[in-house]
């Protein structure tokens, strides 16, 4: 579903942040991307969506990421931004949720039906007519996830989905993500969150892919994590 072949990428006018990255993600896999600040986690997700210029080859759902295929790529992969304020830009939750489906060809009534069904499935039907500026941080994150899901992507690219959440909403987001049967690539500083949502993990350091493997094994390796600017998840302290 996702493949990077010798990919290097960066922002206009600057040096490459990602350096010769190669990996693949099978359908249905949930992969965590971890690394210290500046390691390249957000850059990797943006590269997968074709938001940055890059060298090498990126495939999303079998389609090569290039200018010609961008409409297909962005319909195949849904992107949750790190800051929900940057994602929820319409007046109400419903307005945001129908924006992409209508642009992809659904009628407004069809899009509204899909939006309501998605929110109900996430236990958040009460948000449908709420104004975005009146939502709490947890509600806005939940609404942002629902907005991505309403477009019916095959792949979810999630940037720091647990950021700024209190423990109750954090657990709610974990349960929701685990209930969604989609291919997921999740970038996060929250290693306990990654353990709760991902079976595999990749460590980035200074734009390079250091290692990848089972989350439960890699995230217990204190020496490996320390070399890459990370600390053990809280559940492993004292063991």
The model's pLDDT over 212-221, given as tens digits with 9 standing for 90+, comes to 999 999 999 9
User: Could you say which residues of the chain have pLDDT below 50?
Assistant: none
- Residue 12: the pLDDT is 87
How is the chain split into domains, by residue range? 2-89+154-231
Query: In terms of CATH, what superfamily is 2-89+154-231?
Result: P-loop containing nucleotide triphosphate hydrolases (3.40.50.300)
Distance CA 158, CA 32 (A): 10
Distance between CA 8 and CA 11 in Å, rounded? 11
pLDDT of residue 25: 96
pLDDT (0 to 100) of residue 217: 95
Residue found under tokens 């477009």: 151
- pLDDT at position 238 is 60
Max CA separation in the chain (angstroms): 56
Cα–Cα distances (Å) from 234 to 161, 228, 231, in that order, read: 18, 17, 9
Residue 18: name the closest of 27, 45, 26, 31 by CA.
Answer: 45
């Amino acid at each position: 579903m996702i493949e990077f072949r010798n990919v290097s990428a960066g922002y206009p006018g600057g040096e490459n942040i990602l350096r010769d990255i190669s990996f693949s993600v099978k359908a249905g896999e949930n992969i965590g991307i971890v690394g210290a600040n500046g390691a390249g986690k957000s850059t990797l997700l943006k590269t997968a969506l074709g938001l940055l210029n890059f060298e090498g080859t990126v495939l999303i759902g079998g389609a090569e990421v290039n200018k010609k295929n961008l409409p297909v790529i962005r319909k195949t992969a849904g992107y949750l931004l790190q800051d929900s304020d940057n994602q929820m830009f319409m007046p109400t939750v419903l307005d945001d949720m129908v924006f992409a489906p209508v642009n992809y060809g659904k009628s407004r009534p069809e899009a509204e039906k899909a939006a309501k069904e998605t929110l109900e499935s996430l236990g958040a039907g009460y948000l449908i007519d709420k104004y975005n500026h009146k939502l709490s941080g947890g509600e806005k994150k939940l609404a942002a996830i629902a907005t991505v899901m309403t477009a019916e992507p095959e792949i979810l690219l999630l940037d720091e989905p647990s950021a700024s959440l209190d423990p109750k909403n954090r657990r709610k987001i974990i349960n929701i993500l685990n209930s969604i049967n989609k291919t997921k690539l999740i970038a996060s500083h929250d290693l306990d969150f990654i353990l709760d949502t991902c079976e595999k993990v990749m460590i980035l350091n200074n734009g390079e892919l250091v290692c990848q493997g089972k989350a439960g094994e890699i995230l217990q390796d204190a020496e490996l994590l320390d070399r890459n600017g990370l600390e053990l998840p809280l559940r492993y302290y004292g063991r």
